Amino acid sequence: MSQIQAHEPRTAPLSEEQIRQYQEYGYLVLPQGCSADLIHAYNAHIHSIRSADPIPEWAFPRKRGQEFVSEEERFSVRLFNPHKHDGFSVQMLKLPVVRGALAQLMGDEAVGIQSMYFYKEPGSPGQAAHQDYYYIRNEPDTMIAAWIAMERVDEENGCLWVIPGSHKLGLLPHGAVKNVQEHEPWTKETENIDLSKELPVRLNKGDILFFHSLLIHSSTRNRSLDRWRRSYVCHYIRHDSVIEREDLKVKYRLD
């Protein structure tokens, strides 16, 4: 197994109890893993990118190949892989507390492979129950998501829901989304699961949710009248894992 030589000391933010919780349930919350000041600065930075005229090509909010964008879509269509183009975004991908937590959970250094900034404005739908591994195959499977809450997240504005322990079930079949009133229709949905076992994950601004690639999770429609549910979500694998998807093969070191 190849090794990555760390240039700087690595933090170890997780307790043994938190690591056991992750292993048992497939997820854990690191309270206030990111400071409010940093969250505010990054939200403002992303807003400035999407407010630009013209919007940079890499940040253009296209939907299914469209060439034009409405004013509303500037702040509703997710920003995909900003870390590949933007210095602030790559530093958010490399947060020392995230690097340290991932190393504790993986037992070795992690590398970043994907980032997404979600807006989820009031009224917008969620994503049906699924497993991230279905979309991002990696071998051996070591992938973990770090989901940073960019503001308070709860049932009203469309928080994540998880089925604790479902990461132990392996990869399950995925099919067409059934409830298109609640969920985006273009995604896939894990089939033959008991959604009554889902639990909401409520997060405060700056909390970081770590979860396993096989954990079944979903989100609901944002039912608030004036609350957004912005988040910065990054995916990581152990440095020696291999990604199948060509668009995610570049590995970003976290040191």
What pLDDT does 67 receive?
61
Each residue of 211-240: pLDDT tens digit? 999 999 999 999 999 999 999 999 999 999
Q: How many CB atoms lie within 10 A of CB 224?
A: 16
Identify the DSSP state of 195. G
Rounded Cα distance between 209 and 249, Å, is 24
Each residue of 128-169: pLDDT tens digit? 999 999 999 999 999 999 999 999 999 999 999 999 999 999
Q: Give residue 10's region: left, alpha or beta (phi > 0; psi -120 to 50).
A: beta
Cα 96 to chain centroid distance, Å, stands at 17
What pLDDT does 70 receive?
77
Each residue of 98-107: pLDDT tens digit? 999 999 999 9
Mean pLDDT (whole number) for 170-182: 95
* Unique residue bearing structure tokens 């604790």: 164
pLDDT band at 2 (very low <50, low <70, confident <90, very high): very low
Flag whether pLDDT at 33 surpasses 70. Answer: yes
What pLDDT does 202 receive?
98
Each residue of 63-97: pLDDT tens digit? 655 566 677 789 999 999 999 999 999 999 999 99
Domain boundaries, the chain: 18-253
Mean pLDDT (whole number) for 24-37: 97
Rounded Cα distance between 63 and 45, Å, is 22
Identify the DSSP state of 246. G
Rounded Cα distance between 108 and 97, Å, is 15
Q: Hey, what CATH class is 18-253 in?
A: mainly beta
